[in-house]
Amino acid sequence: MITTIKKYSFGAHAPTGAVTAQVEEGDTLPYFSAQSEGRGTRFRCPLEKDDIVYGLGETMRGIDKRGGRYVSFNTDNPHHKQDMPSLYGSHNFIVVDGKKTFGAFFDTPARAVFEIDYGGSGEVNVLCERGVTVYIVEGESAHAVVRRFLRAVGRSYLPPLWAFGFGQSRWGYKDERDIRRIARGYAKAGMPLDYICMDIDYMDRYIDFTVNKKRFPDLKAFVSEMKGKGVRLVPIVDAGIKVEPGDPVYEEGVQKGYFCKNIEGKDFCAAVWPGMTHFPDFLRPEVRAWFGRQYKVYTDAGIEGFWNDMNEPAIFYSEYTKGKTGERSEGDPLYRGNTFLSDYRNFCHNIEGKEVNHWEVHNIFGANMTRASAEGLDALLGGRYLLFSRSSYIGAHRYGGIWTGDNSSCWDHLRQNVRQMPSLNMCGFLYSGADTGGFGGNASRELLLRWLAFSAFTPLFRDHASKGTRPQECFRFRGKKDFRSILSLRYRLLPYIYSEFMKAALSFDMYMQPLAFGYPQDSRARRVEDELLVGGSLLIAPVLEKGAKGRLVYLPEAMTEVRWDGASFRTRQAAAGEHFVKVPLGEVVFYIRKGKLLPVGGAAMHTGECDLSAVTLLGDGEEYEQYLDDGLTRSVSEGNIRLLRRLG
């Protein structure tokens, strides 16, 4: 029983599965006033002027969430503007850090609205529209609160080592030839690569669990050919099953009653990429087990990695909203992103024999798809696998990672990526990352290089772009040396990145943190939103501006500056305080914290060539605890740590 966390119930709700620890019921909710409103409850907590409010995972705006309005209602919306209230996931955990420091998790599968000092209200105002269980987490610092919360929601998903390699993706690769060309392009340019994602065009007419035979005549042989080159294939799986009489998955789903029902009790029809689809009722254990088993067609072919998509669920239109597309506009109250919100009232789930309208449980749909896949893959594969999803809810972090959806090739979204990473980590999602270079729009060489230089530190490191945008693979650009430099840095850092990720996951900690968590007494560090701590040893300060020759870096203490120029690491001592640091494109500058060490490995063209145990130590520390294993086994333990000592 965890005593530093207490829970308080305000009305019933379907179980979300977010909290796995035993938590005691508290008597009276502290910090917040609570008032019923409609079928839900409104919570209010006054803020002090200097309080910082952390959390909310995948949302827009800053690391400090003050000044914003955030709506937890999973939405497929590619317009990631600063004031966009909803993205693909709902992560209802906040930490108030100031005179009082505490965390609050609003565990509800339904819609919730967070107004954090919105319009200068001076309060946290949370409306949970249905039943909610509020968890209050106590701790002596924001970091301590987060660590307790992470323990309560259970250990992060553990990816295999190869999932920390670099991945290339693009919506539009359609056949073996396209994929071979990408692998060849990287190999010829001397750039490392671990996996290539297969977007929806690998399927037969976008039907899940099929492979287009013309484009991939022998998937198994192709997977093994690519693996021989060190490149794994990672197919996409969408949430909806195409209405396709004769397709065995569709037929079985209909026959066994596994799909969500419309308001008239028939299988609900919603249009996504394949045209009309049915949605598996992922909230039912037997449906999850059935869906998870379907991955066998891919695992039998030797595939060990997947990305789950369209699982908010995205609905282009439904049997109810078909023909209403003319009404689609930003101003339409019904239409958000790609979806008519009203459709979320048009279908139902069956939870323990009871019919529940989707609206009531909307935010846990995608999370349960991830769970279905993970449980299926656990049964199908002997070792770890790569799995990341677009939609999520806290708890899904135990089953897979997430990527942050359809961003664009713009500097603002690179900055957003930097701010989102620590917030995602606070909510459990350690294995995450953005579409590097941006999904929509055309990436410039400069933007892609700067973005790669940041993503080289994020656990999920994938370049992905939309159909119709300019080619975004690194080898397509002039001046390949700069790209080679940054990609090779990632592989040189893998002994550290892998070790820090695994240590964070095993000890319920974050992998990427705001500076404030490392230097809570430093009032300036508390406000820094464009530098991050990565693991226990590193501080990074990515260049986030177009045309910049470098940037101002704030160091809370003296550190070892490391400059990677593509060939070697050059170190020098940097004093505490502010510095302008020159960072040419193709170089990366980062810092090793005082008294810490960084193990760096040798060059590699893919993770299969990495020897994580052959490292050189940089920095002025004495010891480094390195987590080491074969990168695949599921039997992980803190016992896999070896102590490295600096000689002399």
Assigned token pair, 577: 């305080």
Residue closer to ligand GLC (CB basis): 13 or 336: 336
Q: How near is the Cβ of 306 to ligand GLC at its closest, in Å?
A: 13
Q: Look at residue 54 and give its three-state secondary structure.
A: strand
Query: Cis peptide leading into 520, omega within 30 of 0?
Result: no
How many whole angstroms separate alpha carbon 112 and alpha carbon 70? 8
218's CB contacts (< 8 A; 6+ apart) are: none
> For binding to ligand GLC (CB under 6 A), which residues are involved?
171, 199-200, 236, 309, 390, 405-406, 464
**Shortest distance, position 337 Cβ to ligand GLC, whole Å:** 10
CB of 466 to ligand GLC, least distance (A): 6
Q: What phi and psi, each to the nearest 5 degrees, are found at residue 52? A: -105, 140
Cα-flanking dihedrals φ and ψ of residue 177, to 5°? -60, -45
Whether the CB-CB separation of 242 and 208 falls below 8 Å is answered with yes
Q: Which is nearer to ligand GLC, 468 or 577 (CB)?
A: 468
Give min distance, CB of 531 to ligand GLC, in A: 28
Cα–Cα separations (whole angstroms), residue 289 to 109, 294, 456, 516: 21, 9, 35, 42
Amino acid in position 555 = L
Give the DSSP letter string of 221-233.
Answer: HHHHHHHHTT-EE
Smallest gap from residue 17 Cβ to ligand GLC (A): 24
| Neighbour count for residue 329 (Cβ, 10 Å) | 7
Residue type, 151: R
d(CA 211, CA 298): 9
Minimum gap (Å) between residue 18 Cβ and ligand GLC:
24
Label the pairing between strands 305-309 and 232-238.
parallel
CA distance 7 to 9: 7
Tokens of 130: 């249905």
65 vs 215 by CB, closer to ligand GLC: 215
CB of 464 to ligand GLC, least distance (A): 6
Smallest distance, Å, CB 199 to ligand GLC?
5
- Is the Cβ–Cβ distance between 199 and 172 less than 8 Å? yes
**Collapsed DSSP state (helix, strand, coil) of residue 280:** strand
Strand 68-72 versus strand 112-116 pairing type: antiparallel
- Cα separation of 381 and 93, whole Å? 33
Length of the chain as a residue count? 648
Q: Which CB, 127 or 237, lies closer to ligand GLC?
A: 237
510/498 Cα distance (integer angstroms): 13
Is the Cβ–Cβ distance between 238 and 276 less than 8 Å? no
* Contact residues for 414 (Cβ-Cβ < 8 A; gap 6+): 438, 447, 450, 451, 454, 542, 544
Taking each continuous run of H as one helix and of E as one strand, the counts in the chain are: 12, 43
Three-state SS letters, 521-585:
CCCCHHHCCCCEEECCCEEECCCCCCCCCEEEEEECCCEEEEEECCCCEEEEEECCEEEEEECCC
Residue 457, Cα to own-chain centre: how many angstroms? 14
Nearer Cβ to ligand GLC (171/624)? 171
Locate tokens 């990408």: which residue? Answer: 182
- Quote the tokens at residue 489: 């840095």
The 3-state DSSP composition of the chain as helix, strand, coil percent (nearest 5) reads: 25, 30, 45
Q: Which residue is nearest to ligand GLC (CB)?
A: 171
Min. distance of Cβ 200 from ligand GLC in angstroms? 4
313 vs 631 by CB, closer to ligand GLC = 313
- How many C-alpha atoms does 293 have within 13 Å on its Cβ side? 10
Which of residues 87 and 374 has its CB atom nearest to ligand GLC in the complex?
87
Is the C-alpha dihedral spanning 80, 85, 86, 91 positive or negative?
Answer: positive
Task: Report CA-CA distances (Å) from 369 to 332, 389, 397, 530, 606.
Answer: 29, 9, 12, 33, 30
Strand pairing class (550-555; 577-582): antiparallel
Token duo for residue 319: 């049997």
Q: Catalytic positions, please?
A: 309, 312, 406
